[in-house]
């Protein structure tokens, strides 16, 4: 069953107002819905929050909610997209300002690990309902490209592609979730292990 089908709970009796909201109001409502969704997902878990409950918590009508997001899947993707864009911008700023490739690589791995940690419920829920592996998604492949580019600047004698893949796989939210939930690793330990692995690979 598709993710959107599992979580779609549209009310057959949704009433849409005829007055079209202004652009400013639409932007404000979208941000309100995203902020509310993030809070509820953090508090209750993604699967426990219905679209009706989200609309009620945000103080908007269901029509307003469904004008912005047709399903919970759309909502999750919007939350991930906003955070991913912020990460991309930070990364571009860092690449422009820092000349030390190894320091930048350490920084980048920690930033991506932080992204995977804080978005773990969204990433893991989506991956359970998407046949395409998470790390094959275009939104994540740029992580590998960045890792590989920084490794290339280090002039390593080892296999750069394989080294990049080892680090890239360690950033998979499902793997990090398994380490945290099943093995009991703290996220601090996961980050420390990631950096320790990097040091061994580039030594």
Q: What is the DSSP letter of 29?
A: H
pLDDT at 21: 52
Q: Is residue 153 part of a domain?
A: yes
Structurally, the chain folds into a number of domains equal to 2
Question: Do 129 and 192 belong together in one domain?
Answer: yes
The mean-pLDDT minimum among 64-68, 73-77, 112-116, 146-150 falls in 73-77
d(CA 197, CA 189): 12
Taking CA atoms, 11 is separated from 1, 55, 64, 88, in Å, by 20, 12, 13, 37
Mean pLDDT for 59-83 is 89
Residue 15, pLDDT above cutoff 50: no
Taking CA atoms, 186 is separated from 53, 133, 183, 191, 203, in Å, by 32, 25, 9, 9, 26
Structure confidence by residue, pLDDT tens digits, 177-194: 999 999 999 999 999 999
The mean-pLDDT minimum among 30-34, 118-122, 174-178 falls in 118-122
Task: State the helix-helix crossing angle for 72-97 and 120-128, rounded to 10 degrees.
Answer: 120
Q: Is residue 75 part of a domain?
A: no
pLDDT at 89: 95
Question: Do 66 and 85 belong together in one domain?
Answer: no
CATH of the domain at 25: 1.10.10.60
Mean pLDDT for 110-124 is 90
Question: Do 46 and 101 belong together in one domain?
Answer: no
Mean pLDDT for 25-49 is 90
pLDDT at 192: 98
CATH of the domain at 174: 1.10.357
Question: Do 183 and 137 belong together in one domain?
Answer: yes
Domain boundary among 70, 98, 129: 70
Give the residue numbers spanning the domain of 157.
Answer: 80-202
Question: Do 93 and 185 belong together in one domain?
Answer: yes
d(CA 41, CA 29): 18
Domain boundary among 38, 70, 102: 70
Question: Do 55 and 112 belong together in one domain?
Answer: no
Question: Do 106 and 29 belong together in one domain?
Answer: no
Q: Output the 3-class SS for 89-146.
A: HHHHHHHHHCCCHHHHHHHHHHHHHHHHHHCHHHHHHHHHCCCCCHHHCHHHHHHHHH
pLDDT at 6: 36
Average pLDDT, the chain: 84
What's the pTM value of the predicted model, to 2 decimals?
0.75
Question: Do 84 and 66 belong together in one domain?
Answer: no
pLDDT at 17: 38
Considering only CA atoms, which of 74, 83, 81 is closest in space to residue 54? Answer: 74
Q: Is residue 135 part of a domain?
A: yes
């Amino acid at each position: 069953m598709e993710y959107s089908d599992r979580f779609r709970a549209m009310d057959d009796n949704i009433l849409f107002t005829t007055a079209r909201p202004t652009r400013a109001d639409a932007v404000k409502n979208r941000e309100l819905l995203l902020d509310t969704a993030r809070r509820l997902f953090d508090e209750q878990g993604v699967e426990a929050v219905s679209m009706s409950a989200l609309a009620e918590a945000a103080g908007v009508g269901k029509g307003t909610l469904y004008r912005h997001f047709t399903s919970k899947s759309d909502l999750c993707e919007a939350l991930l997209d906003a955070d991913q864009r912020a990460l991309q911008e930070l990364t571009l700023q860092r690449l422009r300002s820092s000349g030390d490739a190894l320091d930048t690589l350490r920084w980048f791995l920690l930033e991506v690990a932080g992204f995977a940690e804080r978005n773990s419920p969204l990433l893991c829920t989506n991956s359970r309902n998407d046949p395409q592996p998470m790390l094959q998604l275009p939104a994540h492949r740029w992580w590998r490209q960045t890792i590989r580019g920084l490794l290339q600047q280090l002039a390593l004698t080892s296999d750069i592609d394989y080294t990049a893949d080892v680090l890239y796989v360690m950033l998979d939210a499902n793997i990090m979730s398994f380490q945290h939930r099943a093995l009991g690793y703290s996220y601090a330990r996961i980050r420390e292990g990631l950096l320790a692995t990097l040091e061994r690979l580039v030594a």
